[in-house]
Structures are given as structure tokens and as C-alpha cells.
Amino acid sequence: MSGPTAGPVRAGGNVDERVLGAGTGLRFVLLLVLFLTSSATVASMIADSVVDPHHYGVGCALAAGLNPDDDYLGITLSTVRAGDAYRACLDRFVPSASMWTPLVVLGALVVAAVALYWLLPSWKGRRSRVVPVDAVDGQGELRALLDELVTVAGLPRAPRFVIAPAASTASAVVFGRLRRYSVCLHGGLVARRRSDPEGFRAVVLHELAHIRNRDVDITYATVAVWRVFLVTVLPAYLVWAALDLKASRASTVLGPAERLGTGHNLVLSAVMIAFVYLARSDILRTRETYADLDALAGGADAGSWLRGVHQHTQPGRARKAFASFAALWRTHPPWDRRAASLADTRELFRPHALTLFVAGATATIAADQTSSLLRTYDVGWAVRPLAGLLAGLIAAIPGVALWRAVARAVLTGDRVPSGLRVGWWLGVGLAVGELLTSNTSGSTRLLPSHPEVFAVLIVLAVGTMGWTAQYAELSVRSWQGRTLRPALLIGLAATWAVFALWYAWWQTEGQIFVLGSAFSESGIRQALERDLPGSVPGHQGALSAIAVALPVLLPLGTDPLVMWAAAVLWLLPLLVWARRPATSAPEWARRALRDVPEIPLGGERPPSLRRILAVAGIGTLVCWSGAAGVMAYMHTWQPPVDRRFGTYLLVFLAWLLIAVTCGSVAAAVLAAVVVRRLPLLAALVAAGTAALFGLAGVFLLGSSDGCLGPLNTLGSTCHWLPMRIWPSIEVLLPLVLGLGIFASAGSALLALGVKRALRPLRQTAARAAGQVETAGRDRLVTRRLWVAAICLAVVVLSTAVSLPSGAEPTTRTSLTRNQLVPGAAIGPVSPQVLSLQTDAWLRLGGMDLAVRFHGDLLEILTALEDDAALTDRDFAATRIRPGCRDVAQVADGFHAYFPVPDPQARQRWERLLAQADRAAADCQRAIDDGDYSLFVSSMNTFVDVSGSTPDVFRSIRGR
Amino acid sequence: MDSLSEPSDVRATADATRPVRDVVREVVSDAAPDELLLVEGLCRSDDESVAARLAARDRSDEPLGFGLGEIAALVTPVVWIALDEAARKATGAAVGGVGRRLRVWLRRIFRRPAVTRTIPPLTPDQLEAVRLRVLELSTESGMAPAAATALAERVVARLVLRPLDQLAGERGDGGEPAT
């Protein structure tokens, strides 16, 4: 390292790279998870093909109304709409592949991977390739040198040293398993041990550092797992795909969709393999840099790395571009970067776009495969918890990267990263992963109908990472411990909680919006009008808006976890505000900056809490005035007392929700604009406080409803009735303090984006604001009192909402599955598809029922030919009544079965069936009651029905 | 040290053929004594395997390696490959090719005893071919021209010079010492 450049570089480079964990372990775990999910998916696909070789599953879907020309939403909804009939068809015809199949396959693959992991060291260290150092080093000169290096490297016991005499590279490699490691010295290195002792030392120390950093086991575990996948799962999948493509040629209607689906899966597999290679190389490159730094710390000469730089310098732009692309796939960083990292550890603290992108994409692929598998085996309830677990990995990988970058920036006085870039690349990775999997695009088209909904993932990632960066800064600046790790763990747990909640929502519900709206707005509105008492004409618009919002808000709004996750977002930073400011540099910082006499930490304090609370006060005022405005407006169309708790209350609650959320959003936006430092955290605290006090205002207004004159809404007589408004507050709480906080965070991010875009214009103003901001400091005791009061209130309210209420929930609704499914999602059917649907309908139960129906009618008609049929009641009871009962049973069977595919034939058939059903019921009642005229009329109906039946059946069959 | 590093039986015979590995060891101990460890290591395998492994390419991007793909200009592989080829040509065996690895592998499977490659006395033309081949291989491996020339001449000298015990035997017969 040359003198003149050493100054500024060393200032940044001196941060101990181990101030926080590198996070590579998490990335390895993600690769292992991907191996498991991909293997289980392939095993499940093959098992499905084996148990259902004739594709009865597809037949059931066709009979249910599946249209292969539809998009994925239409296909899914056609089976959803068929409901129990579809399930019954699958139960009857498709032997369910046991969940044990993929589990057993996974077990076998894991055993194979463990065996390979166990055997790899023996293979790499086989006698024909390497020789032990002790066997050839008669005088023990090399052994003594190696022993000294083992002591320098700080290893408790020496590994086995072997020589690969035929390898002429001046290198070495380490391999082994579970603390039995071997360092293999290449012939070229051994030959140079005297002529280039520094180079020899650097290489051996580097390899010993790999052992000390525990890189060997996890690396070879990944190698073993991946080789097992490539040798077993991938070929099995390719054979399956080839057979599938061959089979798809048999059908002209289903074939194209099937080929597209298989092609889609093949592309996914290819890209996934590329991602795994990229991820693995990326992780290994990080580990190499750590080993380099350890070797340097052990006294290796940096010149040994410079030799690599001279050797690998690439002239020309095109060559350089190719070299940087090729470098992405290599397990070692380019030499210039390795040499640079020795002088400056900055590289180890920088979150890399590729790392984040690949982590996001691979995690989504694994998550989608997991959820598909769980749904296939009817354990859909496990999707949410498993998605939450996986979200931990997705959030922790960029989270650790961000914390490291922030810690370094705080220690060196550099600009602290905003987290937006990290969030962006993670979000893009998540979205690309989703695009690749067939969960959203389905097997019928390459792109989903609404790819713009993927923006939700990007916003989610950007928001979470923006918060993580600011919280990390707040926490790092005030952390007093010996090590920073507990602060990181608290911060990551919070990031995980929030990300997991939203990611689990995405996996279970959010994803569907990429396909389109899965709920019929008109169906919900009609059900609301029917089910809620006191519908008020003239407010259809409000009801329609509620019907649109309900499918989104209901699952999230009723989940107390949303409220807790939102509470974490703003209470955790608030608690840091209550900490005593640091007076001297903490021990962790002194250790991290081991050879810098003056530590630049401190100075920057979090923004004044008083200022944030003042902004929250403005938000609270907006909430209160909004609530008062809503009550005044509701008063204008106040219905009679008995009709105030249906539609009127629903509309009132919706307006209150909007009013309070507006106050909270206003506080967030204002805080984001006026607070210079940590604006997102300030915005969240302001929004949370405003929402809390806003709701308190609503509670006060609601409790005194009836005494408010022009504001009276639900009450007409003046009493203090807190219990009257409390149920409404219970409904609003998770929405306002849960979803409302997230909406405020989104608005604050937007405001920050605008502020950043306008920064050049506002720079001087912001500087002035900054001076004001740090000038007035509030007292610690006051600050702590405020923080304690707010935290206590939120925790008590969240607990109250989370506890199960004693009353049974009244979930009676007239909404049927058919009404809930939007008709527009299922498109018109071509004659070819209709013919296939009809064929499936007939084969999978329709024909059976029709034959039985016809037989039962014939039985009745034959009995009617007897003279006693219309005169003898006993004859009717013994010969005709069973036929009537059978017709009723067949009619029930038809009701439980899929509707007839052809709409016109369906109408005729349903009319006929209704006639027969009614006649069957009349016949039985007439015979039981001795009602002759009813009996005769039912028999006449049977005669009519049997006359029309052949014609109607012909129309069903389309000929 | 095992028996492979000791003078083999072939050397004791009076027909002046010598094991390739012995000549390699002699050249390396003169030209690059630091590489003797490698020669000893290689000598633990049979000649077929050694020749196959020396001809194989090294991986520089192994996981957990140092990553330096720099090939050291080693004397041992140059001399061993050149002498192995010369020995094969002189005895009429096939040189190199895909078959070599397969042969090594099959022999291992069927547990056939390893053949010790020997080099007979070479004609001046053959010696010149060896010299040129050593020069070529040394230059390929990145050795400086002067060092390459010196090595080539040293190899030829070693091939021409008989070991001391053979010299003594030949003097007793009244024969001319080899020059």
C-alpha cells in the first residue's frame, strides 16, 4: 500500500469486517430451502402423473367448466365455482397422491446428499491424486513451516496437509467434513516455498482462514446437495417434461395450453439453475474476501494478491465487460477487487444489487413452490406460517447487508444508505421470481393479466428496507453495548415481523390480484343490501365502494397481527428516543475501529421528539375535525333509530375510517417533509400518535353522541354511553392503527420521494430547518413519560383487540359462492371446448345419472300401465312411490353434480329437472296423504317429462 | 520412504535401460531440488497414472481454493512428460491420447500390476527429439529461454551419462564409456 493514498482509504477501510455477521449463512440456507422445494415439486408432479395417468383431474375441471382458453383466474374460478362437486369428482376419480411421496423422495435425496457430502473429501483426497505431506517430507522441513502457520492462524488443531504433486498451479484448496479438514497444497506452491516464501505463506494462511471461518462444511454441503439435484431431480424432471410435451400433441384443444405450461416450467428451471449458480458463486466470493483479510491479519504479504492483479488485467472495453460478466459466475472475486479489499473493507459492507436480486427471486420461487405443494396436499393452512418463516430469510438477507452498510457509514462518517436501493433490488427480485413461477401467470399465458400488481412487492420491499435503514441508524448511533449484534437482532426481528405479515398476505391473498379481481363487486353489494337492515336509497355509491374495498380490507382489517406489526414499526423507534444519549463512544465502536485513535461516532442525534409530537398534534386535529365533519354529514340523512345499525352504521364507520386515516396520513406526510433526519421513522411516530389520539377523539364524540346537536349520528338522547361506540372503535382499531399506519408509511415514502426530487430547490431551507431541529432538545424525563404513555396505550388497545371477544361472531350471509365469483372472469367457450366439457360431464357422472333418471321414469310409466295404478293406493305405495323416491334422489344427485356445460341445454335441463323433482315430491306426498288429484297431476308431469327427456338429452350431447 | 523411490530392479540389469522416474529424479535434484518433494509424491503412483495426471489441466476456480490460476514453471512435469513420451516412442507404445486415462482406469479396476516405464539408450536423433521436446514444454510452461535451454541440455546429458555402477561394469568389460 502506497503512502499518499493510504490516508483516506484507511480511514474507511479500518472498520472491522466482523462488526456484524456477514449474512452468508442465511444465503446458504436459502439455497438449501430452494433445493428442498424444487425437489419436492418435481417429485409431486411425477407422483401426480403416475397416480392419474388418464388425467381425470383435468376431466373434472373440464366438467366443472374449465376453459383452456381462459386466463389463470378464469381457470381457478371455474373450479372454485363448482365447489363441492369438483372436490367430489376428484375424490371419486383421482386417487390422491399421498403427501408422503414427496416427503419420502426428499428424505432419499437428503440421504444421498449426506452420503455425497461424506464421500466428497475421500474422493478429493484419493491416493491417486494427493499424497500426505508427512509421506514425502522426510526431513520435516515443510511440516515445520506448516505447523508455524497453523499457530499463526489460531487453529486449535492442525488440519491434514496433503500435496497434489501433479498440479502445477501455485495454489491450494481446503476440503473435508465436520472438523476433519485437509489442506491440499498444489505442486506449484510447494515448489515455490523457498523462492517465494511470502506467496506460500499467503496461500496457506488463506486456506487455514477458511477452516477457521467454518466455510468448509457449508460449502461442501451445498456442493453435495446441488450435485444430487443435478444428477437425480433435474434429469427426472426433463424426462417428465419431454413425456408431457409428447402427450400434449394428442389434444388439439388442451395441447397448446399444456405445451405453454411445460415450456414456462422449463424456462423457470433453467433460470432457477442460473440463479443458484450466481447465488452460490456470490456467497463464495464473500467468503474468499474474509479469508483474504484473515490471511493478511496473520501476517501475509499483500503483494501476493497484487501478482494476481497483474496476471489478470484485461485490456479493452469489450473484454472488460465480458470479464465482469464472467466474474459473476466465478467463485473468487476479480483480483483487482481482492487486492482493493485488503486495503479497504468497504466492499464487504456494500449491499450488492445482484445478491439482493437473486435472493429475492430464489426466495419467491421457493415460497411459490411451497405454497403450491401445500395446496396440492390440502394443507393450505400451513401456507401462511411457512410463508412467514421464509419471509424471515427474505428480509434478513438484505436486512443484514443494510445494517452492515449503516454501521460502517455511522462509524466512518460516510453518507448513511437510505435502504431504497436495497429495497428496490430485493423487490425487483421478488417480482421477477413471481413472474417466473406459474402461480401468477398460470399455464395458459406467459404474463399474468395484471403484472402492475407486482409493484406491491416492490413497494413492500422498498418500504421495509427504508424503515430498516433508518431504524438501524437510530439504533447504531445510540447503542451502548459491547457488541452491536443484539441491536441487529432486535432490528431484524422487527423487519421480519412486518415483512412476514405482508409476505404471508401476498402468498395467501395478494397474489390473486395479479390475475384480476376474484370477487364480484355487484354480488357483494347485493348481499350487503339484502343482509343489512335499513338500506338507504341514494347511497348506492358508498355501498359500491365498500363492496370493492371489503375483499381487500376484511382479511387484513380483522387480523390483530397487522396492528401489532404496525405497532412495532413506530413504537420501536419511539423506545430508542427514550434512551439516554451517549456521552462517549461505546465499546463495540472502539473495537470495530481498532486502530483509529479518534472515533467519529456521536454528534448526530435523533430528531427532537417534541417537534414530531407537534406534527402529530396537527394530525390529531385533522382526525377530530374530520370525525366531526363526518358526524355532521351523517346527521343530514339520519334515519329512524331502528334503521341506524345497518347500512347507515356501515357507511358511518367507512367515513370515520377515512377521516382518521386522513389525519394519520397528513401527520406522516408533514413529518416526512419537515423532519430532516430519519424522516420515515419520524413520520411513522407522528402518524401513530395522531391515529391514537384521533381515535380517542372519535371515542369521546361517539360516547357523547346524542348530546351533540347537529353532530348527532347514532344517538338521539343525551347520555354518556361509552359502550355504544366501543364496538365501532374495536372495528376501527386494527384498521386505523394497523392498515392506516402502513398507508401513512406509504404516503410518507411518496412525500420523501417528492422531497428528494425537489432537493436542489429546497437545500437551503432544509439546512435552516436542520438547525432549528437540533437546537431545541427536550428533557429526558418528559420524553420518557410521553413514550411510556403512548406505548402503554397502544399495547393495551392491541391486546384488547387481539383477545377473543366472548360473543359468537355473526357470520350469516346470503352471499353464495356463485355470487361471489365474478362472471366476467370466465369467458365464452368455443364449440371444441364445449364438446370436451360435455364429454367430461357425461363420462364423469352425468351419463350415469341420466341413465338412472331415465330408468326411474320408465319404472313409473310402466307401473302406470297397470289398471290398479290410479285406483289402488296400496299398489301406488308399493310400485310407484319407490320410483318417485328414486327420481327425487337422482335429482339430488344432479344438484350435487356439475351444471350442464352448454348454457342453452342447461336451461332446458334445469327446467325439466325442477319439474321432475317437484313431481317426485308431489307423488310421494299424494300417496302418503291420499290426495288423488295431486297424484294424478304428478303422474301427468312424469309423462310430460319422460316425453321431453330424450330431446333434452340430445341437446346436452350437442346432437 | 517406500520402495518406489529406491533404484528399481530394472536399473540393475546390464542392458542400460533405466526407469523414467529415476532419470527424472536425477534431473530434478540437479535443476530444481525444491521440487524433489513433488517427484517423491509422483513416484508413489505408477507411470501411466503420473503421465495422465501431468497432462490434465488444473482447475483454478475450485471452491475454497486460493483462486490463483498461475502456473508455476516447474521442471518436474516438463522432464517427466518428455521422457515418458520418448520412452513410449522408443518402445513403440502409444503416446498420449484419450485412451491413456481409460487404460489407467481399466488397469485399476482389473487390478493389473503397474508397468514401470523404462527408457533405453537413445540414438542421437532420439536424443535431439527429447531436447527439442523439453525446450518446447519448458517454453510452454513459462520458463525463461536460458533456463529452458539449460534444462534441455541437462536432460540430454543425464540420458547419455550412464549411472556409476553401469560405468564400472562396462570398464571391466573393456567397453568405451559413454560420452
For B27-56, what is each residue's pLDDT tens digit? 999 889 999 999 999 998 888 888 888 887
Distance of alpha carbon A212 from alpha carbon A363, whole angstroms:
29
- Kindly report the length of chain B: 179
Distance of alpha carbon A585 from alpha carbon A416, whole angstroms:
18
Note the pLDDT of residue B179. 33
Judge whether residue B148 has pLDDT over 70. Answer: yes
Note the pLDDT of residue A128. 75
Strand A180-186 and strand A172-177: the pairing is antiparallel
Mutate to test the interface with A, among B1, B37, B84, B103 (most CBs of A within 10 A): B37
Q: Do B38 and A191 lie within an 8 Å CB cutoff?
A: yes
Note the pLDDT of residue A955. 86
**Quick check: A185 and A164 in contact, CB under 8 A?**
yes
Neighbours of A65 (CB within 10 A): 24
For A478-519, the pLDDT digits (tens) are: 888 888 999 999 999 999 999 999 998 898 888 888 888 777
The three cell numbers of residue A232 are 437425480
State mean pLDDT over A299-309: 79
Q: Which of A142, A220, A308 sits opposite B68 (nearest CB)?
A: A308
Residue A180, beta-bridge partner list: A177
Chain B neighbors of A283, CB-CB under 8 A: none
**Quick check: A516 and A450 in contact, CB under 8 A?**
yes
Judge whether residue B14 has pLDDT over 50. Answer: no
For A65-74, the pLDDT digits (tens) are: 888 777 777 7
Indicate the fold that domain A829-957 takes in CATH: Four Helix Bundle (Hemerythrin (Met), subunit A) (1.20.120)
Distance of alpha carbon B159 from alpha carbon B126, whole angstroms:
11
Name the residue in chain B with its Cα closest to that of A286: B64
Sign of the alpha-carbon dihedral angle for A149, A155, A157, A162:
negative
At B176, the pLDDT band (50, 70, 90 cuts) reads very low
pLDDT-above-90 percentage for chain A: 31
Judge whether residue A55 has pLDDT over 60. Answer: yes
Nearest-5° Cα angle at A650, A646 to A656: 145
CA distance B149 to chain A (A): 20
How many C-alpha atoms does A872 have within 13 Å on its Cβ side? 12
Q: Which of B41, B56, B76 sits opposite A131 (nearest CB)?
A: B41
At A45, the pLDDT band (50, 70, 90 cuts) reads confident
Residue B18, beta-bridge partner list: B119
Separation in Å, CA A875 to CA A74, A365, A860, A868, A880: 52, 68, 12, 7, 7
State mean pLDDT over A270-286: 89
Note the pLDDT of residue A139. 82
For B101-110, the pLDDT digits (tens) are: 666 667 666 6
Distance of alpha carbon A916 from alpha carbon A912, whole angstroms:
6
Query: What 3 state SS string does A671-685 have?
Result: HHHHCCCCHHHHHHH
State mean pLDDT over B115-138: 89
At B166, the pLDDT band (50, 70, 90 cuts) reads low
Nearest of A551, A508, A544, A512 to residue A528 by alpha carbon: A544
Judge whether residue A928 has pLDDT over 70. Answer: yes
Q: Which of B38, B45, B70 sits opposite A187 (nearest CB)?
A: B38
Largest CA distance in chain A: 122
Q: Do A168 and B60 lie within an 8 Å CB cutoff?
A: no
Chain B neighbors of A337, CB-CB under 8 A: none
Average pLDDT value over all residues in chain B: 76
Judge whether residue A776 has pLDDT over 60. Answer: no
Note the pLDDT of residue A8. 28
Separation in Å, CA A668 to CA A421, A447, A613, A665, B63: 22, 36, 11, 5, 49
Q: Do B34 and A195 lie within an 8 Å CB cutoff?
A: yes
**Quick check: B62 and A332 in contact, CB under 8 A?**
no
Q: Which of A190, A215, A287 sits opposite B38 (nearest CB)?
A: A190
Q: Look up the ipTM and state it.
A: 0.82
The three cell numbers of residue B81 are 512428460
The three cell numbers of residue A676 are 430532516
Distance of alpha carbon A68 from alpha carbon A251, whole angstroms:
12
Contacts of A252 (CB under 8 A, 6+ apart): A832
CA distance A439 to chain B (A): 35
Note the pLDDT of residue B93. 61
Burial tier of B8 (Cβ tally within 10 Å: 0-12, 13-18, 19+): middle
Chain B neighbors of A137, CB-CB under 8 A: 37
For A565-618, the pLDDT digits (tens) are: 999 999 999 898 887 766 677 888 888 887 666 665 555 677 888 889 999 999
Judge whether residue B59 has pLDDT over 70. Answer: no
Q: Do A131 and B32 lie within an 8 Å CB cutoff?
A: no
Nearest of A553, A546, A517, A518 to residue A531 by alpha carbon: A546
Find where cell 300401465 sits.
A865
Number of H helices, E strands in chain B: 9, 2
Distance of alpha carbon A495 from alpha carbon A474, whole angstroms:
14
For A352-371, the pLDDT digits (tens) are: 899 999 999 999 999 988 98
The three cell numbers of residue A132 are 500426505
Chain B neighbors of A181, CB-CB under 8 A: none
Q: What is the DSSP letter of A169?
A: B
State mean pLDDT over A324-330: 87
Q: What is the DSSP letter of A824?
A: G
Note the pLDDT of residue A708. 84
Note the pLDDT of residue A524. 80
Give the range with max mean pLDDT: A163-172, A761-770, B15-24: A163-172
Note the pLDDT of residue A582. 66
CATH architecture of A121-216: 2-Layer Sandwich (3.30)
Q: Do B37 and A216 lie within an 8 Å CB cutoff?
A: no
Judge whether residue A202 has pLDDT over 70. Answer: yes
Note the pLDDT of residue A544. 79
Residue A176, beta-bridge partner list: A181
**Quick check: A178 and B81 in contact, CB under 8 A?**
no
Chain A neighbors of B60, CB-CB under 8 A: 169, 171
Q: Residue A174 is inside which H or E element, if any?
A: strand A172-177
Chain A neighbors of B54, CB-CB under 8 A: 166
Cα A852 to its chain centre, rounded Å, is 49
Nearest-5° Cα angle at A27, A485 to A9: 60
Note the pLDDT of residue A300. 86
Strand A180-186 and strand A160-164: the pairing is parallel
Distance of alpha carbon B96 from alpha carbon B133, whole angstroms:
14
Q: Do A129 and B56 lie within an 8 Å CB cutoff?
A: no
At A775, the pLDDT band (50, 70, 90 cuts) reads very low
Distance of alpha carbon A690 from alpha carbon A672, whole angstroms:
14
Cα A41 to its chain centre, rounded Å, is 18
Note the pLDDT of residue B71. 75
Q: Which of A138, A172, A287 sits opposite B1 (nearest CB)?
A: A138
Nearest-5° Cα angle at A403, A402 to A405: 65
Q: What is the residue-wise DSSP string for A47-60?
A: HHHHH-TT-HHHHH
**Quick check: A727 and A648 in contact, CB under 8 A?**
no
**Quick check: A515 and A449 in contact, CB under 8 A?**
yes
Judge whether residue A530 has pLDDT over 90. Answer: no
DSSP E strand stretches across A278-362: none
Listed in sequence order, the DSSP H helices in A869-931 are 873-875, 881-896, 903-929
Note the pLDDT of residue A306. 79
pLDDT-above-90 percentage for chain B: 31
Q: Residue A162 is inside which H or E element, if any?
A: strand A160-164
Q: Do B64 and A172 lie within an 8 Å CB cutoff?
A: no
Chains A and B form CB pairs within 8 A to the count of 134
B interface with A, Cβ–Cβ < 8 A, is 1, 32, 34-35, 37-42, 44-45, 49-50, 53-54, 56, 58, 60-72, 74, 76-77, 108, 141
Note the pLDDT of residue B178. 37
Name the residue in chain A with its Cα closest to that of B104: A128
Q: Which of B39, B58, B64 sits opposite A169 (nearest CB)?
A: B58
For A855-893, the pLDDT digits (tens) are: 998 888 888 888 887 788 888 888 888 889 999 999 999
Distance of alpha carbon A402 from alpha carbon A607, whole angstroms:
21
Name the residue in chain A with its Cα closest to that of B61: A331
Q: Do A171 and B1 lie within an 8 Å CB cutoff?
A: no
pLDDT-above-70 percentage for chain A: 90
Separation in Å, CA A826 to CA A67, A72, A450, A829: 8, 10, 16, 9
Distance of alpha carbon B176 from alpha carbon A454, whole angstroms:
91
Q: Which of B37, B54, B70 sits opposite A311 (nearest CB)?
A: B70
Q: Do A163 and B64 lie within an 8 Å CB cutoff?
A: no
Distance of alpha carbon A536 from alpha carbon A514, whole angstroms:
34
Q: Do A163 and B42 lie within an 8 Å CB cutoff?
A: no
Q: Which of A135, A166, A202 sits opposite B42 (nearest CB)?
A: A166
Average pLDDT value over all residues in chain A: 84
Distance of alpha carbon A161 from alpha carbon A733, whole angstroms:
66
Mutate to test the interface with B, among A168, A182, A335 (most CBs of B within 10 A): A168
CA distance B71 to chain A (A): 4
Note the pLDDT of residue B110. 67
* Least confident residue range of A531-535, A651-655, A795-799, A913-917: A531-535
Q: Residue A489 is inside which H or E element, if any?
A: helix A485-508
Residue A169, beta-bridge partner list: B71
